[in-house]
Amino acid sequence: MFDNAVPPPRPALNAPETLALVARAQESDAADHALTIRQALHKYKKAVFWAMILSTSLVMEGYDVVIITSFYGQTQFKNQFGTGIDPTTGQKLITAAWQSGLSNSSLVGQLFGLIINGFFQDRFGCRKTLMIFMAWMAAAIFIPFFSRSLPVLAFGEAMCGISWGVFQTLSTAYAAEVVPTVLRPYVTAYVCMCWGAGILLSSGVVRAVAGLQGEWGWRLPFAVQWVWPIPLFICAYFAPESPWNAIRRRKPELARQALRQLKKDTPTRDEEIEATIALIEHTTALEEAETAGATYLECFRGTNLRRTEINCVVWAAQILCGNAILGYSVEFLEQAGFSELQAFDLNISLSCCYIVGGIICWFLMARIGRATIYIGGLIGMFVCLIVIGGLGFSDSVHAKLAIGILLVISTLINMITTGPACYPIVAETPSGRLRYKTIVIGRFVYNLTGIFSNSVTPRMLSPTSWNWGAKSALFYAGTNLLCLVWCYFRLPETKDRSFGEIDILFENKVPARKFKSTVADQFAHSEAAIEKTMEMEHNEKSMRMMNNIGGVGV
């Protein structure tokens, strides 16, 4: 079932064959750029469907991210697992150290999942990798569901985290590769919306069980996770493979089969498929010339180092922009003066922003570049964080209400801008052969940043530790500013660029501020090289003919 053979060397083509390949690739690239959003949706509706279905796996990660942090403010969970006493109320609480441990355990598991995914996708492809780790996820959920102590719960979170680490990069890369350029920002931004949908679902579930007494108040939300693995496993079984992945694994027939499932059935479909195959092979050949071997070490060499830097910082900024506070919103609101139920109710409003913001971002992406959206979001969140931090010095009722309102506004800004805009950026900037590995490295840095955040944020908020309360926002205003300065000078604009054009811009070391205006022709170099090769072959053939004539004369 799982063919793990190393891809054979790519067969060499002579000059006429290569020229024909480039001509078909140009035809496909021109047709891709000519598509409007409406035309692309009509022609590639099956591709959009499969991209959205497989991206749904991110619902599970988003669900657990908030379910754990929300439990820190839930009475039933604190009564079962609490190891400290709140000096203000006298009730049990989860200490800052254990909050960090529980939140970080899943991140450590995700780090292993990211490394595993880089290997599995290159060997087995996207859909089979997803099937393997959906089965893993279904089994791993048993551990937190039946846990009775914090160490067992932390171990269960780590085991679940392995599958989440796989889903993080797989869904983004698959969505970017199965649709045309014009639809790429929408399906990759949908990945973020799925993550937000999981957060919204968990917020609703935690609020719904707030009135339950005993262990089912925390155990039932864990059981809800079993809703996803089996149907998503079945969907992955019937899903087409990424044609880019198939070509990289030297499986052109698998790529053709996938494209037949992804494209609408038209009289010219077979010709379009061959042109698309030619474009993928041409782009892959350009990338192979630059990244032969395609090891993780190649991500830190030559122009790929810059691509890896962009991926890492864009991922890390997702937390450092101030989003870390949003992950602890229930406890943050309680420390700001809201009651437990008020905090849970407002948390649902915050979670709705993930869906509403993602939809608004779809409309922005049609008119505004990814880098512009991303930088604009950082600026908006910076202003909110400064004001929230300033209000933290006041104990008035009006200040607490303003903090809640600003937290909603900050969440909405994040989910209109930096949240969804991150995904097309990290999917488009790596080279094709290193896309999985570069995204894995970037997400690895994201998780390391998350471990740092999960270590300091609970201490900032905990009444038994630093007890900063709303003033914690000032710390993340500082990290937000650092990310903003980097993005202004280093984040390139990739809107409306094909993968081949992005490769050319990076290979020519075009500055980030000039990415948008620079003209890039991914076929110019190839055509010149082919013409030179054909001229050399013609000269060699003429010399052989002259030598043969000379030999007869003697």
Residue carrying structure tokens 């809640």:
404
Given a contact cutoff of 8 angstroms between Cβ atoms, the answer to whether 92 and 78 are in contact is yes
Count how many residues are written for the chain: 554
Contact 294, 433 (CB under 8 A): yes
C-beta pairs of 141-149 under 8 Å, 24+ apart in sequence: 141/222, 141/223, 141/225, 141/226, 141/229, 144/222, 145/219, 145/222, 145/223, 148/80, 149/81
pTM of the entire structure?
A: 0.71
Where the chain has pLDDT below 70, the residues are: 1-29, 32-33, 87-88, 287-294, 327-332, 335-337, 340, 522-554
Which residues have a Cβ under 8 Å from the Cβ of 220 and sit 6 or more positions away? 205, 209, 212
Closest to 43 in 3D by CA, of 265, 260, 257, 239: 265
Please tell me whether residue 49 adopts helix, strand or coil conformation.
Answer: helix
- Based on its alpha-carbon atoms, the radius of gyration of the chain, rounded to whole angstroms, reads 26
Give the integer Cα–Cα distance in Å for 372 and 516: 11
Q: Quick one: DSSP state of residue 308?
A: H
Written as one string, the DSSP assignment of 431-455 is -GGGHHHHHHHHHHHHHHHHHHHHH
- The rounded distance, in Å, linking the Cα atoms of 165 and 488 is 29
270 contact partners, CB below 8 Å, separation of at least 6: none
Give the start-end residues of each E strand in 77-159.
84-85, 92-93
Q: How many Å apart are CA 522 and CA 502, to the nearest integer?
A: 9
CB-count burial class (<10 Å; 0-12, 13-18, 19+) for 516: middle
Question: What pLDDT sits at residue 96?
Answer: 80
Max Cα–Cα distance, the chain, nearest Å: 111
- Please identify which residue in the block is written with the tokens 């496993």: 233
What's phi and psi for 93, nearest 5 deg? -145, 160
Q: Please give the Cα distance from 180 to 503 (Å, whole number).
A: 17
Tokens 């122009």, residue located: 303
- Nearest 10 degrees: CA dihedral of 183, 187, 192, 196? 120
Q: Give the residue ranges of DSSP H helices in 462-523.
A: 472-490, 499-507
**Which residues, in sequence order, are CB contacts of 139 under 8 Å at separation 6+?**
none
Q: What is the DSSP letter of 496?
A: T
Q: What is the DSSP letter of 179?
A: S
At residue 481, the pLDDT reads 97
In this structure, is the dihedral angle defined by the CA atoms of residues 425, 428, 430 and 436, taken in order, positive or negative? Answer: positive
Q: pLDDT at position 313, please?
A: 97
Give residue 551's pLDDT.
42
Exposed / middle / buried, residue 269 (Cβ in 10 Å: 0-12, 13-18, 19+): middle
Give the pair of three-digit tokens for residue 190. Answer: 């949908």
Q: Residue 349 half-sphere exposure, CB side, CA atoms within 13 Å?
A: 14
The β-bridge partners of 93 are 84
**Hey, what are 205's tokens?**
């579930």
**Tokens (6 digits) for 41:** 């949706």
In 3D, which of 93, 457, 487, 467 has the Cα closest to residue 310? 487
Question: Which position has the token pair 């292993």?
Answer: 112
C-beta of residue 290 within 8 angstroms of C-beta of residue 302: yes
Give the domain 20-514 fold. Growth Hormone; Chain: A; (1.20.1250)
Q: How far does Cα 244 stand from its chain's mean position? A: 18
- Comparing CA positions, the residue from 551, 95, 65, 87 lying closest to residue 354 is 65
Give Cα 433 distance to the centre of its chain.
17
487, two tokens: 């993005």
